[in-house]
């Protein structure tokens, strides 16, 4: 009885199909998944599982983590329900919110003018051991808080510029880092497998959280994972430090980290594309596949062509091998040819970045169609309309009210009638489009 009542309600509403498709879009795209590429082997990538207890200073609070453990020194733990005084430490920022969830962590390193150093790291036991010969993909969110020099350049006449990076370690047994404070050195029991040293990490500071990633091949049996600041690998000391006292200049730098993921590197990625059979098709692989490591890959097409961009004269399925430093991924382009003389075509991706290529999203029709009416809407994942037009030649530029909208998936709804076919029902189509920049 309730289904029948609801059916009559929608049937009497001329917008019932629009409401229906918007509801489906919201339900399909609202959930947030823990990993896009497989099961996350890090059981608490967001630092959310804590032991009960009262709030403590961030540099004292990491011991409240239930699954993570610190590797000597004092990595920081920032819990959303706890307040702290940002004046206690130069790198703390009480206005920073987590990348996801309620909590995040912070790690620090210091390099002294006499070559000694201190380093921090954190470790955790994985949900299962790594597999021999398997390539693994690591990604996390990072907020670079910059660096701090102990003595001002104008006073000391000497400045340290350490090589900034964060290193990944794995081990079959529990990982340890020992800071020898008497000699200003440190060592670890684990094997370093990869380094994070992107521009976001090497730079002077961040304005927002940024995702960084890398990959590595496992020897097999490693059950513990660690993130560790440089263990002495800061580069060469400048000559000016030779005449300074042992305390001299020091340079420290610091990162907030959140949302850590360790998954198996996917063997293949698939993208479905619809294209007009009678027209050339431009393909940019980095626009079609949103996978961070592809930015540094080499691409080999199944017909021998090499490169990230090409124009396809023959519309058919394509396979491209992306060669990475740590392995390879098969990129499968499932291209469906359309007879565009009889069909409307809408791309499933566009990039309004002003480069003159694929900057607008619109419905493409066969020539010489006469519309009796036309309605085209685009809406975000919450169901809010961000673009609306009654003109078939209008296109969306990725903005609302003149402001750029965020990258992501948007839904579209299209309804039109044709003067040449007045006896036919309205043509209604719907789908999604990915906005990338």
Examine residue 426 and state whether it is found in any structural domain, yes or no: yes
Q: Which two tokens stand for residue 358?
A: 């694929």
Q: For position 300, which CATH number holds?
A: 2.60.40
| Predicted pLDDT of residue 273 | 87
Residues 364 and 276 occupy one common structural domain: no
Whether 7 is in a domain gets the answer yes
Q: Give the least confident one: 53-57, 184-188, 401-405.
A: 184-188
Q: Indicate if 255 and 271 belong to the same structural domain.
A: no
Residue 30 has pLDDT above 50, yes or no: no
**Residues 8, 127: one domain?**
no
Please check the confidence at residue 35 and state whether its pLDDT lies above 60: no
Give the pLDDT confidence of 362-411 residue by residue, as tens digits. 998 866 678 889 999 999 989 899 999 999 999 999 999 999 999 999 99
Average the pLDDT over 241-260 and give the result: 82
What is the structure's pLDDT at 55? 82
Specify the higher pLDDT residue, 28 or 261: 261
Give the pLDDT band (50/70/90) at residue 13. low
> Does one domain contain both 21 and 101?
no
Same domain, 11 and 110: no
* CATH classification at residue 78: 2.60.120
Say how many C-beta atoms besides its own lie within 10 A of residue 425's C-beta.
7
Q: What is the CATH number of the domain that holds 8?
A: 2.60.40.10
Phi/psi at 312 (5° precision): -95, 120
pLDDT value at residue 32 = 37
Q: What is the pLDDT of residue 27?
A: 45
Q: Pairing state of beta strands 349-350 and 427-435?
A: parallel
Number of independent structural domains in the chain: 3
Domain stop point among 287, 308, 337: 337
Instruction: For residues 200 and 258, state if they share a domain.
Output: yes
Residue 229 sits in the same domain as residue 255: yes
**Residue-level length of the chain:** 437
Same domain, residue pair 65 and 164: yes
127 and 209 housed in the same domain: yes
Q: And the tokens for 408?
A: 């992501």
| Domain assignment of residue 47, yes or no | no
pLDDT of amino acid 313: 84
pLDDT at position 200 is: 92
Identify whether 38 is part of a domain: no
- Domain with 153 in it: 58-264
142-151, 220-229, 260-269: least confidently modelled range = 142-151
Residues 231 and 173 in one domain: yes
On whether residue 52 sits in a domain, the answer given is no
CA distance 5 to 394: 38
Does one domain contain both 4 and 131? no
How much is the pLDDT for 90? 64
Considering the entire predicted model, what is its pTM? 0.67
Residue 382 lies in a domain: yes
Mean pLDDT is lowest, of 221-230, 244-253, 370-379, 424-433, for 244-253
Domain boundary among 264, 286, 303: 264
Higher per-residue pLDDT: 137 or 338: 137
Does a structural domain hold residue 168?
yes
Cα–Cα distance measured from residue 151 to residue 248, given in angstroms and rounded to the nearest whole number: 8
Q: Are residues 251 and 395 in the same domain?
A: no
**How far is the C-alpha of 409 from the C-alpha of 378, rounded, in Å?**
11
62 or 276, greater pLDDT: 62
Please identify, among 204, 234, 264, the residue that sits at the C-terminal boundary of a domain: 264
Per-residue model confidence (pLDDT) at position 14: 53
Residue 9 pLDDT class (50, 70, 90 cuts): very low
Q: At what angle do helices 16-29 and 2-12 cross, to 10 degrees?
A: 120
Supply the pLDDT for residue 396.
Answer: 96
SS (H, E, C) the chain: CHHHHHHHHHHHCCCHHHHHHHHHHHHHHCCCCCCCCCCCCCCCCCCCCECCCCCCCHHHHHHHECCCEECCCCCEEEECCCCCCHHHCCCCCCCCCCCCCCEEEEEEEEEECCCCEEECEEEEECCCCCCCCCEEEEEEEEEEEEEEECCCHHHHCCCCCCCCCEEEEEECCCCCEEEECCCCEEEECCEEEEEECCHHHHCCCCCCCEEEEEEEECCCCCCEEEEECCCCCCCCCCHHHHHCCCCCCEEEEEEEEEEEEEEECCCEEEEEEEEECCCCEEEEHHHHCCCHHHHHCEEEECCCCECCEEEECCCCCEEEEEECCCCEEEEEEEEEEECCCCCCECCCEECCCCCCCCCCECCECCCCCCEEEEEEEEECCCCCEEEEECCCCCCECCEECCEECCCEEEEEEEEEEECCCCCCCCEEEEEEEEECC
In a domain, 50, yes or no: no
Q: What is the mean pLDDT of residues 141-168?
A: 83
């Amino acid at each position: 009885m309730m289904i029948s009542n609801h059916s009559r309600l929608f049937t009497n509403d001329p917008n019932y199909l629009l409401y229906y498709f918007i509801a489906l879009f919201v339900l399909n795209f609202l959930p947030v998944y823990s990993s896009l590429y497989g099961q996350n082997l890090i059981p608490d990538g967001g630092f959310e599982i804590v032991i009960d207890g009262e709030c403590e200073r961030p540099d004292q609070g990491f011991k409240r983590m239930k699954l993570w453990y610190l590797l000597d020194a004092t990595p920081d733990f920032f819990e959303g329900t706890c307040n702290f005084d940002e004046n206690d430490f130069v790198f703390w920022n009480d206005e920073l919110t987590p990348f996801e969830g309620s909590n995040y962590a912070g790690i620090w390193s210091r390099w002294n003018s006499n070559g000694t150093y201190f380093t921090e790291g954190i470790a955790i036991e994985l949900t299962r051991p790594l597999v021999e010969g398997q390539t693994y993909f690591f990604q996390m969110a990072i907020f670079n808080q910059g660096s701090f020099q102990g003595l001002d350049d104008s006073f000391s006449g000497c400045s340290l510029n350490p090589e900034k990076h964060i290193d990944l370690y794995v081990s079959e047994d529990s990982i340890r880092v020992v800071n020898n404070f008497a000699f200003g050195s440190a060592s670890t029991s684990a094997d370093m497998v990869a380094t994070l040293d992107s521009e976001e990490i090497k730079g002077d500071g961040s304005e927002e959280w940024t995702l960084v990633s890398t990959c590595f091949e496992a020897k097999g049996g490693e059950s513990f994972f660690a993130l560790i600041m440089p263990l002495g690998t800061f580069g060469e000391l400048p000559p000016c430090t030779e005449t300074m006292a042992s305390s001299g200049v020091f340079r420290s730098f610091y990162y907030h980290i959140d949302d850590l993921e360790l998954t198996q590197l996917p063997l293949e990625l698939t993208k479905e594309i619809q294209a007009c059979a009678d027209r050339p098709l431009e393909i940019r692989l980095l626009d079609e596949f949103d996978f961070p490591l592809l930015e540094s890959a080499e691409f080999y097409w199944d017909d021998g062509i090499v490169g990230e961009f090409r124009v396809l004269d023959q519309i058919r399925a394509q396979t491209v091998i992306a060669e990475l430093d740590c392995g390879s991924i098969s990129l499968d382009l499932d291209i469906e040819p359309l007879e565009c003389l009889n069909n409307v075509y809408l791309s499933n991706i566009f990039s309004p970045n002003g480069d003159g290529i694929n900057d607008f999203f619109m419905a493409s029709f066969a020539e010489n169609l006469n519309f009796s009416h036309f309605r085209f809407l685009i809406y975000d994942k919450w169901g809010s309309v961000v673009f609306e037009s009654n003109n078939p030649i209008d296109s969306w530029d990725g903005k609302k009210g003149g402001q750029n909208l965020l990258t992501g998936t948007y839904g579209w709804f299209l309804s039109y009638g044709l003067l040449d076919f007045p006896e036919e029902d309205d043509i209604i189509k719907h789908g999604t489009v990915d906005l990338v920049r």
